[in-house]
Amino acid sequence: MAKKRTGLFDKLVILHLLSTSILFLIIIFSYYYIEKRNFDNSLTKKSHIIRDLLEISCIDPIVKTIAYDRVNRSIKALYQANKDIVYMELYDPTAHTIASVGDLPGTRFTIDDISRLIQQHNGEITGSGNISNSNELIAYLEVDGQNLGLIRVQFTRKYLYKQLRANIMFFLGVSILSIAATSLIFYFFTDIWVVSPIVSASNIMEKYGSDELHTLRKSIKKHSKKNIRDEIGVMSVAFERMISSIIKWKEEKEKAEAQYRLITENIEDVIWTMDMSMKFTYVSPSIYQQRGYTVEEAMKRTMEEVLAPDSLNRVMALLDRKLMLIEAGDPGGWESEVFEAEQYCKDGTTIWASNNAKIFPGPDGKPAGILGAAHNITDRKQAELALIESERNYREIFNATRDGIFIHDADNGMILDVNKGMLDMYGWTYDEVMHGTLATFSAGIHPYTLVEAQKIIKKAVQYGPQTFDWLCRKKDGTLFWGEVSLKYVEFPGKRYVLATTRDVNDRKLAEKSLAEEKERLAVTLKSIGDGVITTDISGNIVLLNKVAEHLTGWTNREAVGRPSDEVFHIVNEQTRELCDNPVTKVISNGKPVDLGENTVLIARDGRERSIADSGAPILDAKSKIIGVVLVFRDVTDKQRLEQEALKVRKLESVGVLAGGIAHDFNNILSAILGNISLALEYTPPHEPTHLLLAEAEKASLRAKDLTQQLLTFSRGGEPIRKTTSIAEIIKDSSTFVLRGSNVRCDTWFAPDLLPVEVDPGQISQVIQNIIINASHAMPDGGVVTIRGENVTEDHIPPSLQNEKQYIVITIRDHGTGIPQNIIDNIFDPYFSTKQTGNGLGLAICHSIIMRHEGFIAVESKPETGTVFSIYLVASKEKITDCSGEKPEAAAQVCSKIMVMDDDAMVQDISRAILTRLGHDYQFAPDGEEAVALYKKDYLSGNQADLIIMDLTIPGGMGGKDAVKEILAVNPEAKVLVSSGYSNDPIMANYEEYGFCGAIVKPYQMKELKVTIQEALLR
């Protein structure tokens, strides 16, 4: 903690306090002396005299008691002798007044007062205790320590004032002496503490400017040590520090001046200053080394004599601009400026100097002059000129080539420079290129993108030169091929990648054309269904295409260089003898050759294939044989297909026969079923005959179904759909197929299983075919499990992803299963693993399901079993029930109905049914007659209300053509189509052909009745 100085003011205060304290002590002492000593002593002395006189005159010395007879006399004598006494009283210890004289006071002592005063008595004269009588004294009469009484005396005021005046005069004398003493003390210390230090400091300060500074600093330092604790000391220290600072400043100034002289006299740059009139005020000596002038000569030069004209104009323009900025208050006007100027030397030559100059202000804040430094840059300027020349030469070479050259920054791929060849090649201007990126000049399609280009640049930096083809883009958007070469180079502190682009679009197009030609040849060789083998003149393999690889079992890499007969191993199918090598035959004959029939190629794995082949020589430009080409094909499947075709033709013949039989059989069934229906109408239900007729009707319906299956097998066709329960179809079909076999069917259907819109006959055929295959797969018996349920959206096969709802039927057996290598072929026509199978069962199933817009899939594992999954479109319609009588929409109305059918039995049964139903009828054997009758009746207004037309009329117009002519006569005509070919497309899509309904022969009376009513009500 710093020690607190004792200031000058503090000293004066202390001195004042000291003098005042001394004076105060003297006064107190004088007062004490006057009051306590002089005044009291004078009274006490006088009281002692009175007491002593009374003791002598009033006390008997023998008996040591008061002589009462002398007391009054003695007191009076004393009173009369002393004019200063006002009164006197003498009390005994019992407060009895022994004697008194003078002007007595109004108060007297009591016994208690006497007792108190005696107890307080210590042998001295005391006051009476009466505050109002300060001039009253008490004296005690004693003999040998025995108190005999009290003397009460009061002096006059005159006596007291006399004593007081004497005391005051004494007090005044003492005070004057005290003041004089304190004044002497104050002057002494003021001179030591204040006057002398100030005079000393003033004398020292007067020497500033005459004495040497170091001597002056020592004197003031010595003085400040004596007075360090007051203001004069602080002032001295400050003065000392000021002197020290001045000394230090002068030393630093001298040092700086020395350094400045050292710099200005030895620096190569010229330091100069000039005033605002452009006259030099200072030039450093280095002007001689730089331009040959002495300082004096340089100071006299004008600006015109210093600067070349161009440089002078530029400098003056720069100065004017700076002055305008300063005048406008812009701080930029005061900032330094670097400029280059051509300056004259004394010998008449010129040098280039870089000047760093700035305007400096005067005391008024206005421009006062210019300070600058000129550095000789002549060598640099010459180097720049040489560089410019070199740059010009570089540009000539750089732009001479027709190749496009890019210079890239190796770190970020930015374009730093390009040549004229690049601009001509790409069609851009130089400024446009400098603002572009690699993406601008690339095709922009993978892999010709900015990202890929940057990757290749990095590879050039890391791994060395890169050469590649690049798809480039011109300014007009045209794409062309360029051959790009990248090379990484380094210059001091910089890294570049040089990219040279050569337009190889024509070459690329030629290469593309050649590649396309080769590709076409390769594709031809790969795509051709024939195997192709080429050999050299020695018969060794040169090339195998993919088909040849597949047929021979040899890959091209394995076969190349091997003898042709090792790879192309052929024998006669019938004799099993080796065939002649076709390569040898072609080389020896020089002509194409064909292999004979029954040639079998034995592959590397031993598999045999029937082939047909030919060989031809390969000729060079001089028609010299340089090899052989063998072209061969696998005819194994062709031969099998020919055999299958023969089988199909036989089946088609059987199908045509079956179709004809089925057509005639349907007509017979129509008569039988119609007559049974009529008989049931006329027979009461309780009659035994009614039961027999009902059984006959069921048998006829079953025969109808068999006929439909025969027709489907023979011709196929579109399904005639109706909304029905798939469960009923499956139950009936499975029961029918498995009747009498050792395989039973276990079915389960979801309670909420949706109905389907299908052709019951065709779907029944699908179910029957699959169940038949399942029973064949379990020769020892077993269980076929069938499940039916609705399909959720996440379980619909991808091929059925649409907005429709589906159900799925799964049919599972536990048989031998299907091998995985053939499971993909089971739906192919004519594919079968059975010795007696024709390969059409599952093909028909697949065709029927596809025509129902469904999907069929199969899963199988050997010895585990097979699962068929059938997906069908669910229907939103209610199930149509044709088994019972439908409620009539209206009362039976007699209508006129025309029936067109060429079969007399059908006409007869139709006549009977229509008569039973209460309708009028008319018949036509073919379409021509039906159209003629309808036209005639239409003109008379008696046309038929409904026409039922047979779809097929052998040798005549059928319903398909007849309905067109009927509708041409009357577009409102109602025509039903009837046929035994239920899966005919017209039966499935009757409305597209103009019919209002369809009915399949043979039909029951109630089925015909419902169909007629529905048609009439449309």
Tell how strand 920-924 and strand 946-950 pair up: unpaired
* Tens digit of each residue's pLDDT (9 = 90 or more) over 550-608: 899 999 899 999 999 899 999 887 788 888 888 888 888 888 888 777 788 999 998 88
* Tens digit of each residue's pLDDT (9 = 90 or more) over 240-289: 677 677 777 777 777 776 776 666 666 778 889 999 988 999 888 888 88
State whether the Cα torsion 836-840-846-851 is positive or negative: negative
Is residue 740 over pLDDT 50? yes
CA proximity to 121, closest of 107, 106, 142: 142
Question: Long-range pairs for 281-284 at CB < 8 Å and ≥24 separation?
Answer: 281/369
Tell how strand 85-91 and strand 97-102 pair up: antiparallel
Which range has the top average pLDDT, 67-76, 648-657, 685-694? 685-694
Burial 501-535 (b: 16+ CB within 10 A, else e): bbbbbeebeeeeeeeeeeeeeeeebeeeebbbbbb
Is residue 886 over pLDDT 50? no
Sequence-separated (6 or more) residues with CB below 8 Å from residue 283: 270, 271, 272, 293, 295, 298, 299
**How high is the pLDDT of residue 1?**
41
Which range has the top average pLDDT, 67-81, 292-306, 881-895, 904-918? 292-306
CA proximity to 185, closest of 380, 18, 43, 46: 18
Three-class DSSP category at 88: strand
**How high is the pLDDT of residue 427?**
92
Question: For residues 980 and 656, which has the higher predicted lDDT (pLDDT)?
Answer: 980
Residue 355: count of CB within 10 angstroms of its CB: 24
* Alpha-carbon gap, residue 142 to 625, rounded angstroms: 190
Helices marked H in 757-812: 760-777
* Alpha-carbon gap, residue 447 to 453, rounded angstroms: 9
Report the helix count and the strand count for the chain, using DSSP H and E.
31, 36
Cβ 487 vs Cβ 498: under 8 Å: yes
Residue 774: count of CB within 10 angstroms of its CB: 27
pLDDT band, residue 862 (cuts 50/70/90): confident
Dihedral pair phi/psi, residue 885, rounded to 5°: -75, 130
Question: Long-range pairs for 261-266 at CB < 8 Å and ≥24 separation?
Answer: none
Type of residue at 820: Q
**How high is the pLDDT of residue 218?**
66
* Alpha-carbon gap, residue 324 to 317, rounded angstroms: 11
Look over the chain and give the mean of its residue pLDDT values, rounded to a whole number: 79
* Alpha-carbon gap, residue 540 to 583, rounded angstroms: 9
- Look up residue 149 and give its DSSP letter: E
CA proximity to 306, closest of 352, 345, 269: 345
Cα 96 to Cα 75, 123, 335, 698, distances in angstroms: 16, 21, 120, 183
**How high is the pLDDT of residue 784?**
92
**How high is the pLDDT of residue 3?**
47
Is residue 229 over pLDDT 70? no
Question: For residues 310 and 118, which has the higher predicted lDDT (pLDDT)?
Answer: 310
Structure tokens, 134: 């300060």
* Alpha-carbon gap, residue 269 to 375, rounded angstroms: 5
Provide the whole-model pTM: 0.33
Q: Region 480-495: what's the mean pLDDT?
A: 87
Type of residue at 600: V
Dihedral pair phi/psi, residue 269, rounded to 5°: -70, 150
E strands, 854-933, in order: 855-861, 865-873, 896-900, 920-924
Cβ 637 vs Cβ 626: under 8 Å: no
Beta bridge partners of 748: 787
Angle between helix 904-917 and helix 1005-1016 axes, rounded to 10 deg: 70
* Tens digit of each residue's pLDDT (9 = 90 or more) over 387-425: 888 778 777 878 888 899 999 888 888 898 999 888 999
Cα 308 to Cα 313, 339, 343, 692, distances in angstroms: 9, 14, 6, 142
CA proximity to 763, closest of 806, 722, 796: 722
Residue 926: count of CB within 10 angstroms of its CB: 20
